[in-house]
Amino acid sequence: MIRRVKYYTLICLTVLVVSVSNMHVHATQGHSQAMLTRQLNQLMKDELDLQGAIAGISIRSTESGEIIYDHQGDVRLRPASNMKLLTAAAALNVLGEDYTFPTEVHTDGLMKEKTLVGNLYLRGKGDPTLLKSDFDKMAEAVQKQGIKKINGNLIGDDSWYDDVRYSTDLPWSDETAHYGAQISALTASPTTDFDAGSVLVEVKPGTKNGEKPMVEVTPKTNYVKIVNHAVTVPTDGKKELTIEREHAKNMITIEGTIPIKAKNEKAWIGVWDPTRYALTLMKQSLSEHGITVMGKIKTGMVPDTAKILTTYQSMPLSKLLVPFMKLSNNGHAEILIKEMGKVVNGEGSWEKGLEVLETEITKFGVNSKTLVIRDGSGVSHVDLIPANQLSQLLFAVQKEKWFPLYLNSLPIAGAQDKMTGGTLRNRLKDPAVLRKVHAKTGTLSTVSSLSGYVETKSGQTLIFSILLNNLLDDKIGKQIEDRMVQLLANTY
């Protein structure tokens, strides 16, 4: 009987200790939350640069999803590239982490000795990562089939998607920039940043005053024509260069001055008609592998009677997510939207793809009726999302099996490697937050945003979404975001 009493007493004491401990934890959290609220409110009050601007802020617990702090969290605001958080989640859910984009080589002709009598078709299915080296691989595969001459045309088939090249609200001023490049199911990228539909133009100063600077284009191609009016000036001169493509043409004009020994100037320029751009690179690769195309470069559809010669597969979506999210690639976002439309609704268009996006995000508890979605990248100034809906998405995706890939794709604060730190590699370098923030950045004229996860000094992780609109200077917006995130890390 005495043993039972002692045992019962021990249980009661244990329960009491646990209860007191839990009360202490809740009290500590409550104190931290109250302090956080006071400090965030004070920051918002003191921040003169926000006067006249609109801020939507939502802070959630990663464990319970409870909103810890809310400042106009239900107000619809322009998210800029925070829109990509929705696109990436929907794509992982619909397409899957192992999804790839094939590029196919077909022919409708017959072999006679080493001549292909007929046409060669290059059929794109959305791969945004095709490099010149990949066209070389496809040309090599054609060469291995004994083909030395193509007595026909080289035809590009981009019909996997519709022929609408720009999203509804893309500003005309973005047309020649890599982040506003045309969307096609058959396209090419200049480098492993995979800015599909663009070329890299690099201007190097001459060795003497008055000389024209040297210009290199990557990939090396005659698809674009360079008109160089720039001049090399003395070392104490000004570096004032413009590199612009003429509307509806592939003529790139370089104007201005570059001092001797100055750093090279780089510009990624979106080309006009990425389908023909890809075909030009393919023809070049065929030539370099000893294959002559006797006909012309054209666009058209692969006939049903054609046979496939080779297929090149892209990297899986799990790997594509890294340049997509880390570098905030608009082209990848819009391709994923069209691909979801093609896979689910049989039509590779923005309309059908956005229908899929809206359906998918509701599975994460996001109320699509509170949103305005016009594209997958956030380049539109018409897109509208409340901060509370973004933080809800970031809470819900934690339960998905693909969440580690999603988290890994987000830029990491202060991590210097480009494909690790991404657009946060030069921000949030303070020891309290260095490499402790995984978040998606966003920038448009008058808009700055930052949403993701931050590890606090107590070892907890918080979800946050900060949307700043109507800013006079988006650089100031980023400074405000960084102060808020540092406050979260140091206070909670």
| Residue 476: φ, ψ to 5° | -65, -40
| Same domain as 89, residue 54 | yes
The residue among 213, 236, 270 that closes a domain is 270
| Residue 113: φ, ψ to 5° | 55, -115
Q: Which amino acid is at 52?
A: G
Q: Which amino acid is at 12?
A: C
pLDDT score of 23: 46
User: Quick count: other Cβ atoms within 10 Å of Cβ 476?
Assistant: 17
pLDDT score of 311: 98
Q: Looking at the domain assignment, is residue 20 inside a domain?
A: no
Q: What is the DSSP string of 1-65?
A: -HHHHHHHHHHHHHHHHHHHHHHHHHHHHHHHHHHHHHHHHHHHHH-GGGTT-EEEEEEEETTT-
| Same domain as 361, residue 238 | no
Residue 422: closest CA among 404, 431, 409, 406: 409
What Cα–Cα distance (Å) separates residue 88 from each residue in 2, 96, 143, 187, 413?
63, 11, 38, 21, 20
| Same domain as 89, residue 41 | yes
**Alpha carbons 201 and 199: distance in angstroms, whole number:** 6
Residue 40: closest CA among 57, 53, 64, 65: 57
- Measure the N-to-C terminal CA separation of the chain; round to a whole number of Å: 48
pLDDT score of 16: 45
Which pLDDT tens digit goes with each residue over 299-348? 999 999 999 999 999 999 999 999 999 999 999 999 999 999 999 999 99
Q: Looking at the domain assignment, is residue 292 inside a domain?
A: yes
| Same domain as 467, residue 407 | yes
| Same domain as 408, residue 396 | yes
Mean pLDDT estimate for the chain: 94
Q: What is the mean pLDDT of the segment spanning 380-393? A: 98
- Give 45's pLDDT tier (boundaries 50, 70, 90): confident
| Same domain as 120, residue 92 | no
User: 155 by DSSP, 3-state: which?
Assistant: strand
Residues 185-198: b if buried by 16+ CB within 10 A, e if exposed: bbbbbbeebbbbbb
**Alpha carbons 217 and 278: distance in angstroms, whole number:** 15
Residue 328: closest CA among 466, 449, 415: 449
| Same domain as 477, residue 418 | yes
pLDDT score of 191: 98
Which pLDDT tens digit goes with each residue over 474-487? 889 999 999 999 99
SS3 content of the chain, % helix, strand, coil (to 5): 35, 25, 40
Q: What is the mean pLDDT of the segment spanning 350-355? A: 98
Q: Looking at the domain assignment, is residue 178 inside a domain?
A: no
Contact (Cβ atoms closer than 8 angstroms) between residue 36 and residue 68: yes
The predicted model scores a pTM of 0.93
- Give 32's pLDDT tier (boundaries 50, 70, 90): confident
Ordered strands of the 214-218 beta sheet? 214-218, 198-204, 265-270
| Same domain as 342, residue 385 | yes
* 209 pLDDT above the threshold of 90: yes
Domain containing residue 153: CATH number: 3.50.80.20
Residues 87-102: b if buried by 16+ CB within 10 A, e if exposed: bbbbbbbbbebebbbe
User: 472 by DSSP, 3-state: which?
Assistant: coil
Q: Looking at the domain assignment, is residue 42 inside a domain?
A: yes
User: 215 by DSSP, 3-state: which?
Assistant: strand
Q: What is the mean pLDDT of the segment spanning 70-95? A: 98
The residue among 253, 270, 287 that closes a domain is 270
**Alpha carbons 420 and 399: distance in angstroms, whole number:** 23
Per DSSP bridges, beta strands 251-259 and 240-245 are: antiparallel
Q: Looking at the domain assignment, is residue 442 inside a domain?
A: yes
Q: What is the mean pLDDT of the segment spanning 85-91? A: 99
Q: What is the mean pLDDT of the segment spanning 390-415? A: 98
**Alpha carbons 167 and 180: distance in angstroms, whole number:** 9
Domain containing residue 398: CATH number: 3.40.710.10
* 30 pLDDT above the threshold of 80: no
Which pLDDT tens digit goes with each residue over 97-110? 999 999 999 999 99
Q: How many domains does the chain have?
A: 3
Ordered strands of the 110-112 beta sheet? 110-112, 115-117, 149-150, 292-293
* 33 pLDDT above the threshold of 90: no
The residue among 270, 298, 327 that closes a domain is 270
pLDDT score of 49: 74
| Same domain as 327, residue 242 | no
* 26 pLDDT above the threshold of 70: no
Q: Which residues pair with 204 in a beta bridge?
A: 214
Residue 423: closest CA among 382, 381, 474, 461: 474
Q: Tokens at residue 329, please?
A: 């690639």
Q: Looking at the domain assignment, is residue 235 inside a domain?
A: yes
Q: Which amino acid is at 171?
A: P
Residue 252: closest CA among 222, 278, 232, 274: 222
pLDDT score of 186: 99
Q: Looking at the domain assignment, is residue 4 inside a domain?
A: no
Q: What is the mean pLDDT of the segment spanning 45-70? A: 92
Q: Which residues pair with 216 in a beta bridge?
A: 202
| Same domain as 426, residue 464 | yes
| Same domain as 133, residue 83 | no
Q: Which residue range(s) make up the domain with 146? A: 102-164+274-313
**Alpha carbons 204 and 214: distance in angstroms, whole number:** 5
| Same domain as 467, residue 345 | yes
- Give 25's pLDDT tier (boundaries 50, 70, 90): very low
Q: What is the mean pLDDT of the segment spanning 15-36? A: 58
* 20 pLDDT above the threshold of 60: no
Q: Which residues pair with 450 in a beta bridge?
A: 441, 466
Q: What is the mean pLDDT of the segment spanning 383-395? A: 98
Q: Looking at the domain assignment, is residue 18 inside a domain?
A: no
| Residue 203: φ, ψ to 5° | -110, 125
Residues 428-440: b if buried by 16+ CB within 10 A, e if exposed: bbeebbebbbbbb
* 1 pLDDT above the threshold of 80: no
Active site residues: 81, 84, 328
Percentage of the chain modeled with pLDDT above 90 = 89
Percentage of the chain modeled with pLDDT above 70 = 94
445 alpha-carbon distance from chain centroid = 18
Which pLDDT tens digit goes with each residue over 288-305? 999 999 999 999 999 999
